[in-house]
Structure formats: C-alpha cells, structure tokens
Amino acid sequence: MAEEESEKMGRYRTGEISANEDNNTFMWSKLPKDAQHKVLSYLPVQILCQLRCVCKEWRDVIHRRDFCSMFDAVTSSRDLEPRPVMCYLESSYPARFVCTSYDHEGRMWKKMGSFPSPPQSNLTAHNVQNHSLFSVGGLLLLYRPKFPPGHNYSNPDYLHSGVSSWTVWHPFRNRWKRLPPCKYKVSGRAPFFVHAFVSDAERKTYKIVMAHLDPDHHSANHPIDDNLKKLVTEIYDSATGVWTDGAEHTLKFVQRHLDPRHSSIRRGVLCGGVVYFETGGIESDVLLLYDIDSDQWDEHTDHDCDYRVFEWDGHLMSIRSEWLSCTGGSRKICFTERDAATRVWSDTGIEIPTKLIRRFPECDFRALDPEEFPDATFEIVASGNRVALTGYSKDGCFRIAVYRRAENYWRVPPAGAFNEKLKPSRVGGLVLHTPRLEWRP
C-alpha cells in the first residue's frame, strides 16, 4: 500500500493526477497520520524536500524524530547505493559552498544545497582548493584551513601556521554547526593526515582524526630534520564535543617522502577498522596506518602500492599501472586488492580502458601525488555495483566516469560534465553519501 500511495504522490506532484480527481482514487486527507508518514518515507529524499512547500505538516515532517527514524529504516531496508558528492564555491554573491550529488539513474549532477556562507574576505582560489569535504552518516563535513591574513598559499617558503576549523551540515534538514577550534596549529606548508568516520552508528556519533607535523619545527632547507619525525594527533568526538590528544607517533619511513614546502591534505581510507593514508612523494612506497580502536599508528612499506587507495565494500583497493611495450608505450591500468593478512596485492581483472585513459589525462596516474602535481584532481570512490572516477578531460571539462561491475562496462555521461570554470572553485574530496535523517550535526 505504501509503495502504491508513494507512486500516486509522485504522479500528483507532476500533474498526472489532478487535485479534483475522484476521492476513491486519491484519499490522502482521510489517511491516519502514521499511514501518511509511512507513504512519505518511501519517497526519495530530494522529492520529499520539494514537497515541503505543500503544507505546514509536510514542511515540518522531515524534522520529526519518529518520521526520521521511519525514513532511515525504509532507506536501509532498500539497500540503496550511496551517491558520489562533491562541493564547489558558487560564483554568485554571497559566495556559498554548494554540494552536488551524482544521480546514477539520471546520469547527471543534482544540487543538494549549500553550507552556510563563509567569511567572504578570505575566499581565494588557493584558499578554496585547500578546503576539503568529508561524509559521515547523514552529515557532510567541510574542513577549512584558517591562516593569518596575507598568507601566501603559492609561496612554498611561507612560514605561517593557523588553527583549522570545521563546519558540520545536514544537507536535507539544513541544520549545521561549527565545531570548536582545533587544539593545535597546522603548518601552512606541510602535509597533514585527516579522516572522519562513524564511531557509533546506533548513537549517531562520529570522530575526526587530524595528524600533522609540529609546525614550529619545519624548515624548508632541512626537509628531513629530526624534528619532523614527530606526528601530533588530535581527535574530535561528537559525543563529547571536544578535541582531545591522540597517540603521538615517531615516523620511521614516512618523513623521507614528506616535503615540508608543500601543504596538502592526505585523506584517509577506512577499511577493517584501520585508516590508510597515502604518504605521497614520487619515491613513496609507504602507507601510514591508524588503528581507530587502539589509537595507534604504524607504517607499512608497500612496494606494490604506488598509487591512490580506496575502499570498496570492505576491501582495500588500489590501481596498478603497467607499461605495455608491445603496444608502443601505452599503459595497462587495472584495479588491485590488498590482502590484510599477507599485505599482498592481487589483480581483480577490472581494467580502465585505453580510450578512457586518453580522455582523462590524469588517468596516466603520474598526477596522483599532490606534492609533485599539486593541481591534480583525479579521485575515485566505489560502493556496491559501481565505481565513480572524476577528473578533467582533455577539453578542460570536469567529468565523471562510472563503472558498473555487473556489466563490466565504463560510461562517461555527457550530462555529467562541468566546464573548465569549476577547477579554481572546487573543494577537495569526492565522497559517498546516503541520506540519513536521524543524524544531528
């Protein structure tokens, strides 16, 4: 019954059923409130938000705890795949950070809404590209570096450091808050490691881990100074609302590849209770690991993992690039999977076709290291039957390529493109997001 009424509601919204149609066909007003809520819980969340203008009851229903619980239960039972989401700075005034999700069925990007307006005076191209987007539960998190006025992002020898800030936002209920300032300053010219994850799904809580080198000990002339070996960690817990110190770690191998002249966010990948960080550096063969249960860091030397890692349904994945001499210097690019016990990477048989590599110049995977190629925008996320890959094509447009495992087929939808104007305004981070109404910022 609920699904039938949901279909009728969709037809009503599009005009296929008139408001004066026979009451025997459409008797919405006579349904009990709990039955109405049951019907509404089957609607896609975007349509549910659009229908809020119908009446006061529908406007407020998305904020009712009983309805939110019902909606989340229905969404979970339908096992919907999360959508890729990205964020960019809209050019209109006042400038806003707009989030947009990719609709796999419609094969296009759809706006979700925007974060609260940031301070306008601090927004520059370099500033925006140092922001980063994260997703936990039903929330989106925006990381914003905060350096003193006059900070020169393009000068590698600039010494300023600042305290980072975070904004947490529910995109469909439009509720948000700014988190307390971080405890420690982050250097304006050293890489740091960041990850946000669900800490308790039942209580709807999350944590943010930030680890960085001590900004007071950086030296552009001594990139492997002993002082660079100390990794400082701070953790935000939404259950307590405060930042606390995490485990310190003395780097063994990673510092060889961390150039203190470059500031870049190393985003983590959570798999099996461990967060994996790429360390970067053109010679890098080290993964930095953080165990969320034991609050301990570790480093794994991994000669078979030179490229970006990502998680796919509980499996740690990467990409291997091999030269094919018989084809005149072209590359074979395939997905690999890591065995957690043996640390061995094995070929999955999934390849990125040559025509796609040629269309996306960054797919040659030389541009994945943010230190060597700071303007690289290639990103990849995966869940269920789909893998989404984003980057800039040869014509300068930002595009998305989607792989469907069931069909073993790659598709680059024409409607899933942005022009070259997106590049200076795009926030770092392609994330997966599933609507969850019970989550509170």
Q: For residue 305, what pLDDT band results from cuts at 50, 70 and 90?
A: low
The predicted pLDDT at position 343 comes to 86
Q: For residues 345-355, give the mean pLDDT.
A: 86
**pLDDT: which is higher, 219 or 102:** 102
Q: For residue 179, what pLDDT band results from cuts at 50, 70 and 90?
A: very high
Is residue 287 over pLDDT 80?
A: yes
Rounded CA separation 288/300 (Å): 7
Rounded CA separation 137/41 (Å): 18
The top-scoring range by mean pLDDT among 18-32, 204-218, 234-248 is: 234-248
For residue 94, say if its preceding peptide bond is cis, omega within 30 degrees of 0: yes
Contacts of 290 (CB under 8 A, 6+ apart): 193, 195, 209, 211, 268, 274, 275, 277, 296, 297, 298
Q: For residue 341, what pLDDT band results from cuts at 50, 70 and 90?
A: confident
The predicted pLDDT at position 209 comes to 95
Biggest distance spanned by C-alpha atoms of the chain:
80
Q: For residues 20-47, give the mean pLDDT.
A: 74
Q: For residues 50-68, give the mean pLDDT.
A: 80
Q: Which domains does the chain have, with CATH numbers?
A: 2-77 (no CATH), 83-433 (2.120.10.80)
Q: What is the pLDDT of residues 195-236, one digit of tens each?
A: 999 999 999 999 999 998 765 555 444 444 555 578 889 999
Contacts of 384 (CB under 8 A, 6+ apart): 81, 313
Rounded CA separation 317/308 (Å): 9
Q: For residue 190, what pLDDT band results from cuts at 50, 70 and 90?
A: low
Q: What are the structure tokens assigned to 31, written together?
A: 């349904």
Q: For residue 265, what pLDDT band results from cuts at 50, 70 and 90?
A: confident
The predicted pLDDT at position 81 comes to 86
On average, the pLDDT of the chain sits at: 78
Q: What is the pTM of this model?
A: 0.83
The predicted pLDDT at position 368 comes to 44
Q: What is the pLDDT of residues 363-413, one digit of tens each?
A: 554 444 444 444 456 789 999 999 998 988 777 788 899 999 999 999 988
The predicted pLDDT at position 220 comes to 46
The strand pair at 386-392 and 398-404 is best described as antiparallel
**pLDDT: which is higher, 306 or 156:** 306
The predicted pLDDT at position 301 comes to 79
Q: What is the pLDDT of residues 118-139, one digit of tens each?
A: 766 666 655 677 789 999 999 9
Q: For residues 254-261, give the mean pLDDT.
A: 50
